[in-house]
Structure 1
């Protein structure tokens, strides 16, 4: 199993469970609230580490209590945080408004500083898997250097640089389907569509009772990457990703659910 390098946001989330989203100028009372770890990069890194992978997190936290909590949380999950930088200021934070069907609306609070993160492009080894959980154009040289070093580089749109083997994102993330790469498009309960040189193939989502869809896309990406790391087929990767996503939406959490059977390669126990 190769090492995984996850580059992306690390955040502290405030989840508010509401009956409905308020209209402009209206009030809504949260029935439940929770502060919890989150961030797309941290979510993917945690899921892979829990499955048994060696994971290196690349990102930043602020010089505040939330940053210390996130570093401690990642370390406890087995994630290497050597390349998590502490930047002066506040840790990234979002407010999640979660409706009864599990759908969520996200409001960012603090300015994003991910573009200031130094990516350790020379630290990767041939065969390592790199995943850009968020993309900034300043990452292009690092992505190209990692690919040149023999790493398999993947990421989210619009990171369609030639170095990327797979581009993974939601339907709303893709302005166009990029050519020359494998585009894996998620669409919530509608499932996943894969565009490649072999054509276009659709995979339905697994039926589930969604409580909170936060982190579902991250769980899908982690499952897909896990199977790629095990040298399984893309179809097997998509299928496991869908299973991990289905398990994740059944719990109230930003970080994907901790399910013991994840590493088995089969559908997790819900």
Structure 2
């Protein structure tokens, strides 16, 4: 079991199941959770954190919540899921709301409502304030103040989600969707120039098609596996969590990508944002495959 720090949002998602995909000028009917626009645990920190917790890791989540009913409920649900929120602060004001439109094919459209016009989350307490906390791994999904200090203090791999333009620290791996890269024109060389020589890989996800890791000398491609998609919410966060889980175990990048694709694929088959109700072993910890028997015999 590793101690993992996840820096990202803890929130309530309000899912709405649609009878048809969203399209410009169209009309659709939807059913909300409990038929009362109910909320479920979501946010990038919760999504990744719950998957890592399911794999048996101890997970600290650094986030910032409003001190209203939604913020307190999100905190309650996250703690009930086994996440350690000692690094999560409360701030005055109302929570923004997140609507998740889920079409019959499982694709989701995220709409953020009433986000604060100014002011952001409180910075994370510096590592010097927590001398007994030294994470084995770190996933930075939101560039809160202090994230770079925790990257420096982390003993093992640091995975950074892009785009995080405010982040000015280091990372071992950057993860981005193909859509994010198209919008930002990010390349491995550009990411390394900005983040420093510690960066080893830029991992680009292509949904069901799989993922590609771009390095200084080559690119490694791993194909996705066919899945029955029920709800794509949180799959990208859970992909990154699976990548970190494998890197913590010392996996080479190709095996880490395969493991991450398996976690991301498993996520889309579940109903929910954070996988709080995932069946046992859905997100199993990385274990290196035994050597091929035929190959072993040929060496004897």
Partner of 1:121: 126
Residue number in structure 1 paired with 2:290: none
Partner of 1:187: 206
Does 1:4 pair with 2:4?
Answer: yes
Q: What residue is the counterpart of 1:263 in the other structure?
A: 284
- Residue 22 of structure 2: aligned partner: 21
The separation in 2 between residues aligned to 1:168 and 1:108, in whole angstroms, is: 22
Question: SS in structure 2 opposite 1:61?
Answer: strand
CA spacing shift, 1:198–1:77, aligned 2, 3 Å: farther
Secondary structure at 2:85 match in 1: strand
- CA drift of 1:149 comes to 2.7
Deviation at 1:121, TM superposition (A): 3.2
Q: Which runs of 5+ in 2 are unaligned?
A: 34-38, 193-198, 288-300
The structure with the larger Rg is 2
C-alpha distance in structure 1 between counterparts of 2:53 and 2:67, whole Å: 25
Q: Report the more deviating stretch, 143-152 or 233-242.
A: 143-152
Shift in CA distance, 264/51, structure 1 to aligned 2, threshold 3 Å: closer
How far, CA to CA, are the matches of 1:66 and 1:146 in structure 2? 28
Task: Quote the Cα distance in structure 1 between the aligned partners of 2:264 and 2:40.
Answer: 19
Pick from 153, 158, 162: which aligns with 2:163? 158
SS in 1 for 2:13: strand
Q: 1:161 offset after TM fit, Å?
A: 4.2
Alignment map for 1:74-113 (pairs within 5 Å): 74-111=78-115
TM-score (normalizing by structure 2): 0.79
41-50 vs 61-70, which deviates more?
A: 61-70
Alignment partners' CA distance in 2, 1:85 and 1:162: 22
CA deviations on 1:3-34 (whole Å, 9 max, x unpaired) are 1111111121111111121534x54211x322
CA shift for structure 1 position 65: 1.9
* Contact 2:151–2:170, Cα closer than 8 Å, also in 1: yes
Aligned to 2:67: 63
Q: Residues 136-151 of structure 1 correspond to what in structure 2 (within 5 A)?
A: 139=145, 142-151=146-155
Distance (Å, rounded) in 1 between the aligned partners of 2:121 and 2:187: 28
Q: Quickly say closer, same or farther: Cα 1:110–1:6, change in 2 above 3 A.
A: farther
Shift of 1:197: 2.1
For 2:5 and 2:208, locate their aligned partners in 1 and report how far apart those are by CA, in whole Å: 28
TM-score using structure 1 length? 0.87
What is the deviation of 1:59? 0.5
Q: CA deviation at 1:258?
A: 1.5
3-state SS of paired residue (1:72) = helix
Post-superposition offset of 1:79: 1.0
CA distance in 1, matches of 2:286, 2:149: 31
Q: How many residues matched?
A: 260
Q: CA RMSD for the aligned pairs?
A: 2.2
1:227 aligns with 2:232: no
